[in-house]
Amino acid sequence: MVVLLIAQLFLRKRFARSAPPHQSNEGILWPGLDSEFYRIARALSERGLPRKLDETPAQWLSRIRSSLPALIDSLPEILSFHYRHRFDPAGLSAADRQNLITDGRKLW
């Protein structure tokens, strides 16, 4: 049994040395990181309406809806554009991207 444990430790160290170095995600540009929704979220946070750590953006908008009714009306559509820009492999059409930019600028 002792021999098996020693052999296992030896093989584990040997395997660890031959394994390729861990690659980090630094330098990877994730799609949608340039979304105007992030600027809107920052602006709303600065106005005293921060998103909680455990909230999805949709839950957050639902929670703050009564605080800024005039601004919140356009946010569901902006959030929809943001989700498509961020997660849809097809992304946004040029017109939808322009709508996200234009609508986003109105709010921040």
2 lies in some domain: no
Which of 16-25, 36-45, 99-108 shows the lowest per-residue confidence on average (mean pLDDT)? 16-25
68 lies in some domain: yes
Instruction: Over range 18-30, report the average pLDDT.
Output: 57
13 lies in some domain: no
**pLDDT score of 19:** 47
Residue 81: which domain range?
Answer: 37-108
101 lies in some domain: yes
23 lies in some domain: no
Number of independent structural domains in the chain: 1
DSSP 3-state assignment of 82?
A: helix
pLDDT in tens, 28-73: 567 788 888 898 899 889 989 899 999 999 999 888 888 777 666 7
Helix axes 57-64, 36-46, angle to 10 degrees: 40
11 lies in some domain: no
49 lies in some domain: yes
Name the burial class of residue 41, with classes exposed (0-12), middle (13-18) and buried (19+) by CB atoms within 10 angstroms of its CB: buried
Could you give the CA distance from residue 62 to residue 67 in angstroms, rounded to a whole number? Answer: 10
57 lies in some domain: yes
